Amino acid sequence: MNFDIRPDLKNGYQLVEILKKEADNQYERLKNKLTAEQFSVFDKRPEFKYVIALSDFVANTIFSYPDVCAKLVTDGALDSDTFSIDSKDAVNTYIEEKLSDFEFKKRLRILRRTRAMVIAWRDLTGVADIEEIFKSLSNLAENIVIRTIQVVRAQIVQAYGDAFDEDAYPMPLLTLGMGKLGGGELNFSSDIDLIFAYPQDGQTTGSARSLTNREFFSRIVQRVANMLSDKTVDTFCYRVDLRLRPFGDAGTIVNSFDGLQAYYETQGRTWERYALVKAKLLGDESYYSHYGAEFIDLLRPFVYRRYLDYGAVQSLRKLKHMIESEVRRRALKNNFKLGQGGIREVEFIAQVFELMRGGRYIELRERSLRLTLKNIANLDLIPKDVCKALDSCYVFLRRTENVIQEFSDKQTQSLPDNEKDRARLLLALNYKDYDKFLADLDSVMKLVHDEFKKVVADENSSNEGVLNFEVWEADLDENELSEELSKYLVNKNEAKPLASEILSLKTILARSPVGPVGRETLLELMPKVIFLLAKEEQSSTLFKRVAGLIERVALRTPYMQLLRDNNDVLERFIKLLKENHFASELITSHPILLDELFIPQYFDAPPSEDEFFFMLQERLLRIEPDDLEVIMEELRLFKKIMIFRIALSDKAGRLPLMKISDALTFLAQALVRELLIIAWQQNEKKYGVPKGRSASD
């Protein structure tokens, strides 16, 4: 499989009608704003109108910073395949040490936006390949982060002295770039996930006012995050996410080597191993001295095991189920990152081999996903042609992602829902027809998902069919349906009341605006349900409870598909309806709890407040830290999930009454604890740190 999805511009920069108007509007807008000299720099480029028609971000950046953008073009940035990759000197020169906070933030934002303008220009015109884009975006972010640390540290040293090691050398602040930044495959509008560490505890020296090393480095980290993330008139530089650190939001924002080692040895969780696979120490190795190697050696035993780690596969299944739950809960449509066969599943395929066999094979400790796929093929862990196809799929998905984000610099992995952006997408990806693009995207995602299922096959997920009968699809009256049902029912007396309940639900659904996909799903799901209920003595009562859920989720097809495609989940649901009325009512009221039936989680002992708290922190990591509404929704959902698990444990006889009371108490305490942290952070952001306290407290 090989998709050439860079634009074909041999015949010039042709625009469809809807984009011609966009190009003309942007052209006139820029012509009126820029000086004649500035405008001529862009106007003499034949692709100018084409690019500003495709990208509001490019047009707006030129509009806002015409002098900086014009100089970049004059310096040859648009025609060089190394200019954007080699950004270190430019970053260090532009971000001077002695700047006011206002000027510091302004320059950071101008630097990122104007450099990103060049990257988007080269990507949208197809002159840059995917590796150039990856390296340009990743190197720019890395260089900006390191330079910001250098400048901020110099400022804080002025006030509090410096932190020195036992050899009297300044102690480095080690910065781990996580995710796609660590892998050198950053996307255009990405968060940057960072973890910070310092070698040893101690005190700063060289000033009348001294800080502990933890306070010193915490101030640096907090200030760096603010400098990059704060929204100003120039927007932000990068959204910085520090929640991958030990204990998440509840943990200190920087840790000593000893603190990190103790955490990963006693508290580290499997998802953190997946995160650390791509971790890269940012900046020059010479700056870190021997501490860099010491830091990586500290992490390696936690990430990579000497034995074949098959447990990594089961952990990945659970992680995948969590993501699928997130997709359903947030109703994410056309999401080519988190959906089945999306970017995340390609990453999972590579990561499961890295974690499972990386302890034995050094070749599987690469951060780059594409290089990891090559090494997996070379080790004959997956056939070479399959790895090559996965690589092509990954490039297709990642270029689609970058192009869509380059339109407006928005962090999205969903297909456009308007005619203009679809036209932009077709041009940038060298397609003439949107249906053809969708067909190719479907082929890509199907291939990825098929390989993902092979690598992470779940024996517990059954999709076998059931006895084929037409008690749902056929147009039968109550007597005819009752007669048909009696052939299968254990309790023949239930035939008539069950027929009545089935026809009642069909009548309700007939009036509902269920789409064709939903109706097709019902045609496949309901015979399965009826077949399972036929084995029960009180099938009509149980069907009535099932109907309560179906009525609620009829317009939310993914939940019905979940029950249709997973016999184990469906069987557990029906068993719950029969045995645990409280838990079944919870599911009917909150269908998101169906995800809990994938791998039922019982408590054999009540989790402590800390354990509840850490489970909550893990869920919150997937949410933007500034999105208070979504965070509060997640807290409410977490409460329902935990109460559901406690109810399951109660019915299963796993927890005695007093332990259930303990569990409910600890859950309440954990939720209050997190709410206090959120309230503190919200107030700190609005009013600053209270006098006498530091950001690390």
For residues 212 and 351, membership in a common domain is answered with: no
Provide the pLDDT confidence category of residue 220 given band limits of 50, 70 and 90: very high
| Torsion sign across C-alpha atoms 215, 302, 245, 617 | negative
Residue at 398 is within a domain: yes
The CA-based angle 629-631-634, given to 5 degrees, is 110
Query: How confident is the model over 634-638, as a mean pLDDT?
Result: 89
Spatial separation of the C-alpha atoms in residues 432 and 356, rounded to whole Å: 43
Alpha-carbon distances of 107 from 91, 114, 320, 370, 379, rounded to whole Å: 10, 10, 40, 34, 47
Give yes or no for residue 1 having a pLDDT over 60. Answer: no
208 occurs within a structural domain:
yes
Banded model confidence at residue 390, pLDDT cuts 50, 70, 90: very high
Q: Is pLDDT above 70 for 419?
A: yes
| pLDDT confidence band for 558 (50 / 70 / 90) | confident
Mean pLDDT for 549-556 is 83
pLDDT class for 460, splitting at 50, 70, 90?
very low
* Plot region of 247 (φ>0 → left; ψ -120 to 50 → alpha; else → beta): left
**Mean per-residue pLDDT of the chain:** 87
Are the C-beta atoms of 538 and 547 separated by less than 8 Å?
no
Q: What is the pLDDT of residue 609?
A: 84
Whether 271 and 132 map to the same domain: the answer is yes
More confident residue, 447 or 626: 447
- In this prediction, residue 510 has a pLDDT band, given cuts at 50, 70 and 90, of confident
Q: In the chain, what is the straight-line distance between the N-terminal and C-terminal CA atoms, in Å?
A: 54
24 part of a folded domain = no
Residue 189 is part of a domain; what is its CATH number? Answer: 3.30.460.10
pLDDT tens string 561-590: 888 888 888 888 888 888 777 877 888 888
Kindly report, residue by residue over 5-60, the tens digit of the pLDDT. 777 666 678 888 899 999 999 999 999 999 999 999 999 999 999 999 999 999 99
Q: Which of 567, 590, 622 is the last residue of a domain?
A: 567
- Tell whether 468 is covered by a domain: no
Domain CATH for 512 = 1.20.120.1510
How many Cβ atoms sit within 10 Å of the Cβ of residue 615? 17
256: β partners: 198
Segment 218-246 mean pLDDT: 94
Tokens of 177: 């770039």
Structural domain that includes position 523? 478-567
CA proximity to 230, closest of 633, 686, 596: 686
| Side chain identity at residue 621, one-letter code | L
pLDDT value, residue 461? 45
- How is residue 12 written in tokens? 């010039």
Helix spans in 13-100 (H): 17-33, 36-43, 48-54, 56-64, 66-74, 88-94
| 446 shares its domain with 486 | no
Percent of the chain at pLDDT > 70 equals 91
SS3 per residue for 218-262: HHHHHHHHHHHHCCECCECCCCEECCCCCCHHHCCCCEEHHHHHH
Does one domain contain both 120 and 218?
yes
> Is 18 among the domain residues?
no
Which amino acid belongs to residue 164?
F
pLDDT at residue 316 in the model: 66
Q: Do both 103 and 237 map to the same domain?
A: yes
Find all residues with CB under 8 Å of 449, minimum gap 6, and list them. Answer: 340, 341, 345
- Judgement on whether residues 217 and 266 belong to the same structural domain of the protein: yes
d(CA 260, CA 195): 11
Q: Is residue 7 part of a domain?
A: no
The CATH number covering residue 403 comes to 1.20.120.330
Determine contact, residues 644/573, Cβ cutoff 8 Å: no
Looking at the structure of the chain, the number of domains it has is 4
Q: Are strands 192-198 and 255-256 parallel, antiparallel or unpaired?
A: parallel
Residues 125 and 166 in one domain: yes
Same domain, 285 and 333: no
Q: What is this structure's pTM?
A: 0.72
Instruction: Identify the pLDDT of residue 313.
Output: 64
Return the percent helix, strand and coil in the chain, to nearest 5: 65, 5, 30
In tens, the pLDDT along 590-626 reads 888 887 777 666 666 778 888 888 888 888 887 877 7
Predicted pLDDT at 468? 42
Is residue 459 over pLDDT 50? no
Average pLDDT over residues 148-152: 96
Answer whether 281's CB lies under 8 Å from 175's CB: yes
Report the C-alpha gap between 170 and 113 in whole angstroms.
33
Residue where one domain finishes, among candidates 397, 421, 455: 455
Same domain, 214 and 115: yes
Phi, psi angle pair for 197, to nearest 5°:
-150, 155
pLDDT-based confidence at 314, cuts 50/70/90?
A: low
Could you tell me if 173 and 90 lie in one domain? yes
E strands within 492-589? none
Q: Is residue 76 part of a domain?
A: no
Asked if residue 306 has pLDDT above 70, the reply is no
Which has the closest alpha carbon to 414: 337, 517, 325? 337
With respect to residue 200, please indicate whether it lies within any of the assigned structural domains.
yes
Average pLDDT for 278-290 = 87
**Given 455, 489, 514, which residue is the final one in a domain?**
455
Instruction: List 129's β-bridge partners, or say none.
Output: none
Please check whether residues 247 and 322 belong to one and the same domain.
no
> Do residues 629 and 661 both lie within one domain?
yes
Extract the tokens encoding 335: 């999401």
Which tokens is 375 given?
């090494």
